[in-house]
Amino acid sequence: MATSTAIASLETLVTIHRSDDPDEIYKQLVSNFKRVPHFGWIGVYIQEGANMMLKAASNELAPVSLAHQSIMQIPIRGEKRVLGKIMVITNPSQPVDESDYAALAKTGEELGKKLSTLNLLI
């Protein structure tokens, strides 16, 4: 795992455990992970009814051409269902490894627990 991914993950976990404001958590998650050099775009989607709604993103639009880029979709799981996802589009010249995925997966897991604790989206 890149040091920047580890730092972003730890900073985000602190925010998840300290804040009770989901919007603040989503924005901080994006802010922290957008500093990772090999992450080209990051967004947080939350299930609202039948649709996944983009709640925070590193910029307005995802990159235009996705053909040569890797996309990771990390589930945000509540107690009974998937509440949303963290989506990361990586830069093609800098591949991710298992530890990058593990850091994002832990972030998604903790965010799901937090949303469940707040009795949101369960």
- Residue 114: HSE in the Cβ half-sphere, 13 Å Cα cutoff: 23
pTM value is 0.88
Domain map (residue ranges) of the chain: 3-117
What pLDDT digit, counting tens, does each position of 62-80 carry?
Answer: 555 666 678 899 999 988 8
**Is 32 within 8 Å of 12 (Cβ atoms)?**
yes
Average pLDDT over residues 69-93: 89
> 10-19, 29-38, 68-77, 109-118: which range is least confident on average?
68-77
Taken in order 1, 88, 53, 49, the sign of the CA dihedral is negative
In the structure, what pLDDT confidence band is assigned to residue 94 with cuts at 50, 70 and 90? confident
Instruction: Give the pLDDT confidence score for residue 122 in this predicted structure.
Output: 46
What pLDDT digit, counting tens, does each position of 34-53 carry?
Answer: 999 889 899 999 999 999 99
Instruction: Give the pLDDT confidence score for residue 63 in this predicted structure.
Output: 53
Q: How far apart are CA 32 and CA 53, in angstroms?
A: 20
* Structure tokens belonging to residue 105: 């997966």
Q: In what order do the strands lie in the sheet with 82-90?
A: 51-57, 39-48, 82-90, 71-77
Given CATH 1.20.120.160, say whether it is the number of domain 3-117: no
- Average pLDDT over the chain, rounded to an integer: 88
